[in-house]
Amino acid sequence: MFVFWYRFVQPDLSRITAGLGDVVCDEVFTQQLGSHTGRVFEECAKQYMWRVLKEKKLPVSFKKIGRWWGNNPKERCEEEIDFIAISGEKAIFGECKWKNTFIGEDILDNLIRRSSLFPEFKSINYMLFSKSGFSDILKQIIKKRDDTTLIGIDDTFFDID
């Protein structure tokens, strides 16, 4: 709530109190709210990870979790991973998508490719979080993998069961 207030409301308080709240709202919703909500969803995913860790329902009993970005020396580009949860030589790599479309296999493929930047981890798992769900193709791929979990928005915000 505070982040939203200081990012969107407070800078435009003069226009809002002058009766231009609808203009400000249109600008916020069309230009900036998606990226803001995506970051909030990433934070919710991390909170979910801590909650599920307490329930002992994760493949890795991690000690730290955080966002990572850095250089990919193989492809000579910047890379970003929404979160990595680590404990020793074990890690969970996570990707969070706040989109109105299903997540496809390309998202998992990119996460696997990015995780290869960390050869120090001998045991790796993947978690994909989605606002809108997952493609049927990705669901079929996941059935054949024991290292990947799909988490929908209902799972993220409600009971773990």
What pLDDT is stored for residue 122 in this prediction? 96
Contact by Cβ (8 Å): 77, 143: no
For the chain, which residues make up each domain, given as ranges?
1-31, 37-157
Whether domain 37-157 has CATH 3.40.50.300: the reply is no
In 3D space, the residue among 94, 92, 72, 99 whose CA is nearest the CA of residue 81 turns out to be 94
| CA 126 – CA 95 distance, rounded (Å) | 8
Per-residue pLDDT for the chain (161 aa), expressed as one digit of tens each?
777 787 778 888 999 999 998 888 888 766 776 667 778 889 999 999 999 999 999 999 999 999 999 988 888 889 999 999 999 999 999 999 998 999 999 999 999 999 999 999 999 999 999 999 999 999 999 999 999 999 998 887 655 44
Say if residues 15 and 23 touch (Cβ distance below 8 Å): yes
CA distances from residue 103 to 51, 75, 99, 137 in whole angstroms, order as listed: 24, 24, 8, 10
